[in-house]
Amino acid sequence: MTARLNRQILAGLLFLSIGAAFLIGSFDLSYGTWRKIGPGAFPALIAVLLIVMGIIVGLSARKSGEDEAPLRLYSSNLPVIIGAIVVFGLVIRGGGLLPAVFCCCLVSSFASRPLRPVKSAIYGLALGAGCSLAFVKGLGMPVSIIGPWFGF
């Protein structure tokens, strides 16, 4: 009987390794006390939860011997996703957060099939509005929602 790595085991190992890396990185920060939590407590808590989730996902892997479809990396979509991140970085200063998220969504939609530009535009607007509310209004980030390219 040979042990095979399936997708669930690989996902569990990925969660486990990312959680362990963040937990190790949080050791340099102060955890504080229960009344006054320090800057290391929240990353450590999330890292521990990620490790637990990785263990649960890895242990719940199917034990059947049936063949799965081989793991594939769709490398043709990778330049589109990297391009979307670059577009976000280019648009954020001059255009603002809402147009940057909108453009990022539109560019990244070219990685999916079938291409649905209207649906992607609606998602981009909704996600841009949500990010603007959360980051600019809620957290007070110093980023304009609509930038100087549009006269604001």
- Tens-digit pLDDT string for the chain (152 aa): 445 567 788 888 999 999 999 999 888 888 888 788 787 888 888 999 999 999 998 888 765 445 556 556 666 788 999 999 999 999 999 999 999 999 999 999 988 888 888 999 999 999 999 999 998 888 888 999 998 998 86
Domain match, 83 and 55 both: no
Residues 50 and 88 in one domain: no
Please indicate, yes or no, whether residues 52 and 99 belong to a single structural domain of this protein: no
Q: What is the predicted pLDDT for the residue at 1? A: 43
81-99 burial code (b ≥16 CB/10 A, e <16): eeebeebbeebbeebbbbb
In a domain, 47, yes or no: yes
Q: What local confidence, expressed as pLDDT, does residue 68 receive?
A: 59
Angle between helices 117-131 and 97-108 (to 10 degrees): 150
pLDDT of residue 63: 59
Count Cβ atoms within 10 A of the Cβ of residue 107 and give its class: 0-12 exposed, 13-18 middle, 19 or more buried.
buried
Same structural domain for residues 95 and 35?
A: no
Together in a domain, 89 and 119: yes
Count CA atoms closer than 13 A to 7's CA, side-chain side: 7
Residue 51 falls within a domain, yes or no? yes
Residues 82 and 55 in one domain: no
- Considering the domain architecture, whether residues 85 and 146 belong to the same structural domain is answered as yes
Domain that holds residue 18: 7-59
- In a domain? residue 67: no
Task: Evaluate whether residue 33 is within a structural domain.
Answer: yes
The answer to whether residue 68 sits within a structural domain is no
| 145 assigned to some structural domain | yes
* pLDDT attached to residue 5: 62
Residue 65 lies in a domain: no
